[in-house]
A and B are shown apart, each in its own frame.
Chain A
Amino acid sequence: MVMLAPNQQQTEKLIYERPHSLEEVYTHYCPGCTHGIAHRLIAEVIDELDIQERTILVAPVGCAVFAYNYFAFDSAEAAHGRAPAMATGIKRVNPDSIVFTYQGDGDLASIGIAEAIHAASRGEQLTVIFINNAIYGMTGGQMAPTSLLGQVTTSSPTGRDAQATGQPMRIAEMMAGLPGVVYSVRRSLHDARHVIQAKQAIKTAFEAQMQGLGFSIVELLSSCPTNWGMSPADAVHWVRDEMIPVYPLGDYKVAEALQNKRGRN
């Protein structure tokens, strides 16, 4: 902001600036990849809750593998899919810390589905930010359990076929069925209004952990312009037009202690 001389009236005020919990570095994400929006929202929430000093990220394998370089708080890197198991250990020996995993759909819904389900089922005091971009981004666009029927990927060149590979896996709905889970919702990052709603949900998920209520998960529909072969703008439209009908946005479980709070649609 401009420095003001005494008696001079302030001519403008700061409306929005980058969160402090996000390092001011160049990220390796492709242009227009909404992983970056998810990072920024998490950092904003951590700033607002003032928990930067006690937050620990467990990063995944996938495009977010370098997430630990981008956040200005402590982090650890897990083997592919194992973030919830690692986070369990970290949280149990540091119960005052706020521990979250950040995982893609290959990481969480495929190779790491066991760790995710068991951590949730045990009601670990963890928060999971789950990035559903319907593909394995990092490795060049293979089919994920969350790929849509008919979706062409490098490992489903004629489109995903339910007979051979089953139906898209709905993680937020699945997690809601586990008693250890106190908060399970799905949001989307495809436009400004939905980004704001996603942020509110992330905040509620962290608050659930701060209150010691149990396991919280926010599924975020996210774009992968590179492997979908689309412009960034077309990719967010694809999230809106193709993904949301298969992955309805909504609150699949909200513990009573969290109701009437932020994070509702």
Chain B
Amino acid sequence: MAKGRVDIDVDRCKGCELCREACPQNVLALADDLNGKGYRPVILLDPLHDCTGCALCAVVCPDGCITVYRDVPQKTPKKEPVLNGKSLSLAV
């Protein structure tokens, strides 16, 4: 599954938690500290890198606080396509 991350504007976040409700990966949490407006903003708490960059949190945020990034898969050496142990490379 794709990997991603979100950047949350904690100064404008109102801690409504609609993003938390929407997140399928359960990687958003309320911060312990208050922001300048007196709200507990939401932060990304994702030690296992479970965020998929699906952007569902950003879609429901009423305050447009969330920017979403998705990891670009790094180039890995190509695996040869095989069928029944035989290489398919020449079949094309």
Contact = CB atoms under 8 A, between A and B. Distances in A.
A79 B60 CA distance: 30
Contact of B72 (A11, A26, A33, A233): A11
A16 B17 contact: no
Interface residues of A, number: 34
B52 to A, nearest CB: 10
Contact of B64 (A13, A22, A191, A233): A22
Interface in B34-64: 37, 39, 53, 55-56, 58-64
A12 B17 contact: no
Nearest to B37: A26
Nearest to B55: A16
A5 interface: no
Nearest to A17: B67
Contacts of B22: 191-192
A191 B14 CA distance: 18
A5 to B, nearest CB: 15
A36 B63 contact: yes
Contacts of A250: none
A226 B26 CA distance: 26
Contacts of A22: 64
Interface in B56-92: 56, 58-64, 66-72, 74-75
B16 interface: yes
A37 B72 CA distance: 28
Given A22-B64, A192-B22, A16 B72 contact: no
B64 A31 contact: no
Contacts of B59: 16, 192, 195-196
Interface in A17-73: 17-19, 22, 26-27, 29-37, 40
B41 to A, nearest CB: 11
A10 interface: yes
Contacts of B68: 14-17
B60 A12 contact: no
29 contacts: A1-B69, A9-B72, A12-B4, A12-B69, A12-B72, A13-B72, A14-B68, A14-B69, A15-B53, A15-B68, A16-B55, A16-B58, A16-B67, A18-B67, A22-B64, A26-B12, A26-B37, A27-B63, A31-B39, A32-B17, A34-B62, A35-B62, A40-B62, A191-B22, A192-B22, A195-B60, A196-B59, A232-B18, A233-B17
Interface of A: 1, 9-19, 22, 26-27, 29-37, 40, 191-192, 195-196, 225, 231-233, 236
Given A16-B55, A236-B18, 13 more contacts: A9-B72, A10-B72, A11-B72, A12-B5, A12-B69, A14-B67, A29-B62, A32-B62, A191-B60, A192-B22, A192-B60, A232-B18, A233-B18
